[in-house]
Amino acid sequence: MIVRLERTFFFEAAHRLALDYLTDRENESLFGRKAGRYGHGHNYEGSITIRGPIDPRTEFLMNIADLDEIIRSVIHPLDHKYLNLDVEYFRGRNPTCEAVAEYLFAELSQRLPAEKLLLREDPSTSVEYQGEETPMYLTRSFTFSAAHRLQSGALSEEENTAIFGKCNNPFGHGHNYELEVTLQGRPDGTTGLLAPLGSIDAVVRREVLEPMDCRHLNEEIAEFRVLNPTSENLVVVIWNRLAPHLPLHRLRLWETRKSCFEYRGE
């Protein structure tokens, strides 16, 4: 039997994203505020997923105490450090979230049957890495608020009321939507970025946030003049708006804390 175990870990570190041959202004244009001359810091949160058979003697995949000790030994050189200067690996290498994830996965894979590493730099940015043979996944999170009324033109008024209940309120109702945009690809060999965060943010802002935030979807968004603005339809509409501009892997749309809708372009 093959099982998987995911274990979470935390560390704090500072870094600066910049290329030595660029001016301060050029670095700021590429990396935004993360290029600040004196650096900045994060409470990093990560998890490592290991995969393997159950030990017939202990009936563990792996003893958690042993797993934690290996994780501690790997993150210790990074914890409470300035990555650019204190960690040899990042001298001459931009310590992006992507690069830190690569470093951690490589170190952990030498000692563990590692399958996947997830690293969250801040609440809006995370990276998933499974090794050199697979793409890296970069997730950027956004929020917007909008109203909608669930009403299908294919149904009678009585059917709409029966199926959608209070969500069929004639004047609509609203949500604080949370959108997770996941891109796939390989980090650039020079910048260390899968894609510049500013470029991702600009596309999402133009295609989704500016037209939809604080709007009534039925009344103000063209696609929903014919489509019922369910979250299933909304996540597909957002995909169609973003896909021409970004290397999308997955979208996840949280309508409430209980309901999340995922679309991968199928």
CATH assignment of the domain containing 24: 3.30.479.10
Distance CA 69, CA 259 (A): 36
Task: Give the model confidence (pLDDT) of 60-100 as tens digits.
Answer: 999 999 999 999 999 999 999 999 999 999 998 999 999 99
Could you tell me if 10 and 45 lie in one domain?
yes
Cα 163 to chain center, whole Å? Answer: 33
State the Cα angle at 257 between 255 and 258, rounded to 5°: 90
Could you tell me if 7 and 71 lie in one domain?
yes
Go through 177-201 and write b for each residue having 16 or more CB atoms within 10 A of its CB, e for each that does not.
bbbbbbbbbebeeebbbbbebeebb
Q: Which of 133, 155, 177 is the last residue of a domain?
A: 133
Residues 6+ apart with CB under 8 A from 75: 9, 11, 46, 104
- 42, 86, 218 from 255: Cα distances, Å: 28, 42, 16
Could you tell me if 1 and 116 lie in one domain?
yes
Could you tell me if 103 and 19 lie in one domain?
yes
Contact 104, 74 (CB under 8 A): yes
Could you tell me if 88 and 192 lie in one domain?
no
Could you tell me if 195 and 96 lie in one domain?
no
Could you tell me if 120 and 246 lie in one domain?
no
Could you tell me if 96 and 205 lie in one domain?
no
Residues 6+ apart with CB under 8 A from 121: 42, 44, 97, 100, 127
Contact 111, 118 (CB under 8 A): no
Could you tell me if 173 and 159 lie in one domain?
yes
- The pLDDT assigned to 132 comes to 86
Task: Give the model confidence (pLDDT) of 165-220 as tens digits.
Answer: 999 999 999 999 999 999 999 999 999 999 999 999 999 999 999 999 999 999 99
- What does pTM read for this prediction? 0.92
- 3-state DSSP assignment of residue 50: strand
Closest CA to 235 of 197, 200, 209, 265: 265
Could you tell me if 1 and 119 lie in one domain?
yes
For residue 57, the enclosing domain spans 1-133
Q: Phi and psi dihedrals of 28, rounded to 5?
A: -65, -35
Could you tell me if 26 and 81 lie in one domain?
yes
Count up the domains in the chain and report the number: 2
Residue 248 pLDDT more than 90? yes
Q: Which of 133, 161, 184 is the last residue of a domain?
A: 133
Q: Which of 98, 114, 133 is the last residue of a domain?
A: 133
